[in-house]
Amino acid sequence: MQILKDKILKEGKASNGGVLKVDSFINHQIDPMLMKSIASTFLKKFSSKEITKIVTIEASGIAPAVLLGYLLEVPVVFVKKAKPKTMENMLVSSVYSFTKDTTYPIFISKEYIKPEDKVLFIDDFLANGNAALSVLGLLEQTKAKVIGMGFVIEKSFQNGGKLLREKGIDVVSLARVKELADNKIIFETEEN
């Protein structure tokens, strides 16, 4: 997705340890116009699939997920990183965070994902795939069908994309970064 790649080149910062900072349009300040284009692109890429629910994980996946949910006219469920006292029928898994170097629990209520649901998972980044695989584990417990996973940015020099694709999951990434070095950001020529 060219406008996304242009924005990453203009405002993204490659920091040490293979982390791409995109705080000015995804992770802190949000660019709603870009998010709308991101959602429209996901809509086209998954147009052949029936989708009844979008699932994302808080916090940065929520913006693209909600805009896509709006376009598809389906509800969006965000996996929580803290257990609310009021939440019932809760399923739990745990995720190792690459950016924070810690493990944290994640939660989803069975109330909002039913076995007959056809789920599209959306997130901001795909790195080692820990978050996505953990959410997949939660969704397996709900018995819903995962029809695909969409990421705004995939870092293809990490293993997540390979792991998910090997599981037969339809993975769509709108910008694939193959190298982050000396403040240089280099993309794969193919998007998926």
Of residues 58 and 111, the one with the C-beta less far from ligand 5GP: 58
Of residues 49 and 162, the one with the C-beta less far from ligand 5GP: 162
The minimum distance between CB 16 and ligand 5GP, in angstroms, equals: 11
Of residues 77 and 132, the one with the C-beta less far from ligand 5GP: 132
- Closest-CA residue to 84 (of 105, 66, 69, 100): 105
Of residues 19 and 52, the one with the C-beta less far from ligand 5GP: 19
Instruction: Give the Å distances, CA to CA, from 23 to 72, 89, 97, 116, 136.
Output: 27, 34, 18, 37, 26
For residue 151, what is the enclosing H or E element?
strand 145-155
Tell me if the bond preceding 59 is cis, omega within 30° of 0. yes
The minimum distance between CB 151 and ligand 5GP, in angstroms, equals: 8
Binding site for ligand 5GP (CB under 6 A): 19-22, 27, 60, 98-99, 123-132, 155, 160
23 backbone dihedrals φ, ψ, rounded to 5°: -65, -25
The minimum distance between CB 146 and ligand 5GP, in angstroms, equals: 16
The minimum distance between CB 127 and ligand 5GP, in angstroms, equals: 3
